[in-house]
Homo-oligomer: A and B are copies of this chain.
Amino acid sequence: MENRYSRRVQYYETDKMGIVHHSNYIRIFEEARVDYLHKIGLDFAMVEGFGFLSPVLSVNCEYLHSLRFGDEFYTETRFVDFGVVKYRLCYKVYQAGTDILCARGESVHCFTDLNGKVVSVKRENKELYERFVKAANGK
């Protein structure tokens, strides 16, 4: 199961090379993740309402083709895995129209309590855990 999210490149996202600055793809990944979790009913507000945060442990991105101002792009996001302690999402960013793959990458996340202490959602909230596992398995 993949989620698709799309929008146009903003002017302020470009740099002096005339292309989207590479740091902004990390932000696009976040937008794609937020959109995905929102659509499957697991959005940030809900997860926070249960007393959890889900910070980023690591991120990587490979840049293949530059997006430019005015370009429309779409992202495809899916879970790579969802474990007891952490989970991993992967992202692909395509230029709309041409379907050229512009960037791809991953982010790894854990769950913490509201004080930032790492917790096992499986142990702390079985129901929430199972909803994530189901989403990660594409069900």
Contact = CB atoms under 8 A, between A and B. Distances in A.
A12 B23 contact: yes
A34 B11 contact: yes
A27 B17 CA distance: 16
Copies in the complex: 4
Interface residues of A, number: 37
B55 A17 contact: yes
Interface string A46-85: 0000000101111111110010111000000000000000
Interface string A14-47: 1111110111101100110010000000011100
Given A10-B34, A27-B10, A70 B58 contact: no
25 contacts: A7-B7, A11-B16, A11-B34, A12-B15, A12-B23, A14-B16, A15-B15, A15-B16, A16-B18, A16-B19, A16-B68, A16-B69, A17-B53, A17-B55, A22-B55, A22-B56, A23-B26, A23-B27, A43-B70, A44-B70, A57-B62, A58-B60, A58-B61, A59-B60, A60-B61
